[in-house]
């Protein structure tokens, strides 16, 4: 109650795996591929300033959303899980664009950018349901952990 009241993520289903494969091969010219979309309902107990959702909550949403993006990516192309191990966030950068007010609904869109060895790059957007307001954008680097010997 009053916190993160709804947090539902859905993976995008891609009929054409060529764009995902192109990004997996590290093609820096490849267009990012939307791999997951989330519907978020925030309450009134996640504020920084009065009436405005705290930026730390937004960073938490981005970090978790991009983790879901990785899971969606694996469902789209299981061959990408060549290492077969866990991934962790190595870097997360956020640009805040507009205040997200308490008791708001928002959409999180996660895009797979590319992979380079154990590194996986994502970007994401947090926006209003109508797409008119961009609240924040993020980029991240996830790293596949090496298997323990």
pLDDT in tens, 66-125: 999 998 888 877 666 655 678 899 999 999 999 999 899 999 999 999 999 889 999 999
Beta carbons within 8 Å of 140's beta carbon, 6+ residues apart = 62, 63, 66, 89, 91, 92, 93, 121, 122, 123, 124
Query: Please, what sign has the CA dihedral across residues 92, 15, 131, 23?
Result: positive
Q: Tens digit of pLDDT for each residue in 4-53?
A: 878 788 887 764 555 666 666 656 667 889 999 999 988 888 888 898 98
The verdict on whether 63 is a catalytic residue reads: yes
pTM: 0.86
Which ranges constitute the DSSP H helices of the chain? Answer: 18-24, 55-76
CATH topology of domain 4-144: Thiol Ester Dehydrase; Chain A (3.10.129)
Please identify which of the residues 16, 27, 39, 63 carries the catalytic annotation: 63
Whole-angstrom distance, CA of residue 29 vs CA of residue 114: 10
């Amino acid at each position: 109650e009053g916190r993160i009241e709804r947090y539902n993520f859905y993976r995008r289903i891609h009929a054409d795996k060529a764009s995902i494969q192109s990004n997996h091969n590290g093609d820096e010219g490849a267009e990012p591929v939307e791999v997951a979309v989330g519907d978020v309902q925030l309450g009134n107990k996640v504020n920084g300033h009065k009436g405005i959702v705290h930026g730390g909550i937004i960073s938490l949403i981005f970090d978790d959303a991009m983790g879901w993006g990785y899971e969606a990516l694996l469902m789209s192309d299981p061959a990408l899980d060549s290492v077969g191990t866990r991934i962790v966030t190595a870097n997360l950068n956020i640009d805040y664009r507009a205040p997200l007010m308490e008791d708001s609904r928002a959409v999180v869109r996660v895009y797979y950018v590319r992979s380079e060895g154990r590194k996986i790059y994502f970007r994401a957007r947090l926006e209003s349901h109508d797409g008119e307001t961009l609240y924040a954008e993020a980029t991240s680097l996830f790293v596949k952990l090496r298997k323990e010997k």
